[in-house]
């Protein structure tokens, strides 16, 4: 998927959750009400969703709550408590994933129509882009390289292939900027600004 093996992907997700928890620890109370580019969501909602995603995954209940349900459930939880919940859930999830063998890793979950590997990569992508949502909302320096970006780009291109958009899956942003591609492909930047077709947005309806 990303040029990484199973152990590296699991470790990458664990690291990304740790970075997100660090971001939560650094939030001020006034930061929580800042609007984000996620429609209708403040920083508190983004933080709650990512934490709940980790909790649901660790509990084996992922998919039973919508992102909005997850946000509502934890949006009033203080950032430091969210950070602690996220670290605890990430530890449990990582331990569970570490016990999987390659056969299970590549097997398709009939409930989601995705392999376990793709599901873990989805979580990694989700945490990475939502961390960028928070940093952008607060005017903080952004992360524009590293394994989280590579994992996100890989997931988005795989998702475009899954959606039957092979041309969009091979598109590149100007100067081959992977972060610009990730923002456009995840609906966070107008693809037209990069000279890309709207089909590059995995959330667009054809």
Q: What is the 3-state secondary structure (H, E, C) of 36-81?
A: CCCCCCEHHHHHHHHHHHHHHHHHCCCCCCCHHHHHHHHCCCCHHH
Q: What are phi and psi of 42, to 5 degrees?
A: -95, 175
Residue 53: the pLDDT is 97
Query: For residue 185, with 0-12 CB atoms within 10 Å meaning exposed, 13-18 middle and 19 or more buried, which class applies?
Result: buried
Nearest to 53 by CA among 134, 120, 153, 144: 120
The domain ranges of the chain are: 6-118
State the DSSP code for 108. Answer: E
Position 2 scores a pLDDT of 55
CB contact burial 34-50 (16+ within 10 A = b; e otherwise): bebebeebbbbbbbbbb
Which residues of the chain register pLDDT less than 70? 1-3, 206
Selected from 1.20.120.450, 3.40.50.2000, 1.10.260.40, 3.40.50.720, the CATH number assigned to the domain covering 6-118 reads 1.20.120.450
Residue showing tokens 């919508």: 66
């Amino acid at each position: 998927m990303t040029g990484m093996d199973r152990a590296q992907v699991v470790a990458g997700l664990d690291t990304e959750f740790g970075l997100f928890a660090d971001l939560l620890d650094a939030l001020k109370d006034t930061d929580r009400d800042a609007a984000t580019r996620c429609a209708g969501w403040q920083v508190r909602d983004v933080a709650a969703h990512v934490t709940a995603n980790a909790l649901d995954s660790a509990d084996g209940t992922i998919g039973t709550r919508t992102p909005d349900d997850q946000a509502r459930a934890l949006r009033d939880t203080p950032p430091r408590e969210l950070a602690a919940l996220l670290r605890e859930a990430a530890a449990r999830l990582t331990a569970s994933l570490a016990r999987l063998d390659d056969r299970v890793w590549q097997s398709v979950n009939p409930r989601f129509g995705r392999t376990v590997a793709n599901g873990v990569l989805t979580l990694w992508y989700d945490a990475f882009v939502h961390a960028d949502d928070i940093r952008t909302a607060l005017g903080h320096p952004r992360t524009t390289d590293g394994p989280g970006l590579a994992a996100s780009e890989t997931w988005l291109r795989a998702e475009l292939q899954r959606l039957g958009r092979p041309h969009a899956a091979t598109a590149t942003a100007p100067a081959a900027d992977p972060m610009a591609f990730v923002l456009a492909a995840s609906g966070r930047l107008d693809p037209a600004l990069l000279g890309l077709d709207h089909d590059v947005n995995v959330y667009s309806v054809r």
